[in-house]
C-alpha cells in the first residue's frame, strides 16, 4: 500500500518485513487498485516478484502460513450472521458516536519497545477505532505491556503510547493477535486519528 499512485509496470526494489525476517527483492507492478476506504488517497498493488531463489520462496511461504493465513482465519472465525450484524449496528447507532466504531483497515505500523525496550518490529493493523487498535505479530507481548506505536495514514503519522489489553495465540510461538488501547497521543496524532476516522464510510 502507498499513499501516492506508482506507475503501472514500474520496477521496484522491495524490502519486505516478514515477521522475524526481512526479504529484499525486485518486482514490477501488474495492477493498481484505489482503496475505497481511503477515498482515493491510498492504493493497493499486485506485484510480481523477480528472480527469487529457493530460500526467498521458502521464507515467503513460511510467512504466509504462520502470519497471513492465521490472520485470515481469525477474521473468518468471528464472522457474524446478518441478523447479529443488524442487532449490533442498531445498538451501536443508538448508544455510540461514529468514532466509537471499529473499522477493519490495514495500516503500516511500527511497534517500539514491545518485548525489549531497545528493539522494534513492523506490523499491519487489523482494525482501528478512536480508543485502540488490533495487530497481528510474530513477536510475543505480555498483557499490560506499553509499547510506542507509529501508525501511518493518508493524513499523517499517528504516534501514541499504547497498552496491551488482549492477547491471543494464533499459532503458539509463531503468530499472535493483540488488542492495544491508546493511552496517550503525541503532537497532532489525536487530531490526525479523528480526521482519518471521520472520513471512513459509516457502513464499514
Residues 96 and 119 in one domain: yes
Residues 59 and 43 in one domain: yes
Residues 132 and 194 in one domain: yes
How far is Cα 153 from Cα 133, in angstroms, rounded to an integer? 13
Give the per-residue pLDDT at 187: 93
* Domain contains 5: no
What average pLDDT does the structure give for the chain?
80
The whole model's pTM is what? 0.66
Give the per-residue pLDDT at 94: 45
* Domain contains 1: no
Tens of pLDDT, residues 126-135:
899 999 999 9
Mean pLDDT of 62-80: 62
**143 lies in which domain range?**
76-198
Residues 96 and 174 in one domain: yes
Residues 36 and 118 in one domain: no
Residues 62 and 120 in one domain: no
- Give bridge partners of residue 100 from the DSSP assignment: none
**What's the longest Cα–Cα distance across the chain?**
55
Residues 65 and 144 in one domain: no
Give the per-residue pLDDT at 193: 92
Residues 48 and 66 in one domain: yes
Which of 70, 196, 78 is closest to 128 using CA atoms? 196
* Domain contains 151: yes
Is the pLDDT at 73 greater than 70? The verdict is: no
Residues 66 and 81 in one domain: no
CATH code: domain of residue 104 = 2.40.10.220
Tens of pLDDT, residues 175-190:
888 999 999 999 999 9
Give the per-residue pLDDT at 81: 54
Tens of pLDDT, residues 90-103:
544 544 444 457 88
Q: How confident is the model at residue 150 (pLDDT cuts 50, 70, 90)?
A: very high
> Is 56 or 201 the better-scoring residue by pLDDT?
56
Residues 92 and 160 in one domain: yes
Give the per-residue pLDDT at 198: 84
* Domain contains 3: no
Q: Which domain-ending residue is among 70, 90, 110?
A: 70
* Domain contains 124: yes
**Phi and psi at residue 113, to the nearest 5°:** 70, 40
Residues 136 and 93 in one domain: yes
Q: Which residue has the cell 493477535?
A: 177
Q: Which domain-ending residue is among 54, 70, 86?
A: 70
Give the per-residue pLDDT at 82: 54
Residues 93 and 124 in one domain: yes
Give the per-residue pLDDT at 4: 80
Mean pLDDT of 20-41: 82
Q: Which domain-ending residue is among 70, 93, 121?
A: 70
Query: Per the structure, how many domains does the chain have?
Result: 2
How far is Cα 148 from Cα 159, in angstroms, rounded to an integer? 7
Element (H, E) at 113: none
* Domain contains 49: yes
Amino acid at each position: 500500500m502507498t499513499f501516492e499512485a506508482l506507475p503501472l509496470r514500474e520496477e521496484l526494489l522491495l524490502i519486505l518485513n516478514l515477521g522475524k525476517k526481512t526479504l529484499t527483492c525486485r518486482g514490477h507492478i501488474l495492477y493498481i487498485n484505489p482503496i475505497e476506504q481511503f477515498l482515493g488517497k491510498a492504493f493497493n498493488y499486485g506485484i510480481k516478484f523477480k528472480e527469487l531463489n529457493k530460500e526467498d520462496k521458502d521464507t515467503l511461504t513460511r510467512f504466509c502460513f504462520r502470519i497471513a493465513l492465521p490472520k485470515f482465519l481469525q477474521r473468518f472465525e468471528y464472522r457474524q450472521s446478518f441478523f447479529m450484524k443488524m442487532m449490533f449496528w442498531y445498538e451501536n447507532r443508538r448508544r455510540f458516536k461514529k468514532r466509537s466504531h471499529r473499522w477493519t483497515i490495514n495500516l503500516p505500523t511500527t511497534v517500539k519497545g514491545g518485548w525489549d525496550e531497545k528493539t522494534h518490529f513492523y506490523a499491519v493493523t487489523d482494525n482501528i477505532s478512536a480508543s485502540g487498535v488490533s495487530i497481528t505479530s510474530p513477536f510475543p507481548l505480555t498483557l499490560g505491556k506499553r509499547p510506542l506505536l507509529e501508525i501511518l495514514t493518508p493524513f499523517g503519522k499517528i504516534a501514541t503510547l499504547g497498552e496491551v489489553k488482549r492477547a491471543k495465540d494464533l499459532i503458539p510461538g509463531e503468530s499472535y493477535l493483540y488488542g492495544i488501547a491508546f493511552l496517550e497521543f503525541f503532537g497532532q496524532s489525536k487530531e490526525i486519528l479523528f480526521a482519518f476516522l471521520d472520513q471512513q464510510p459509516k457502513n464499514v
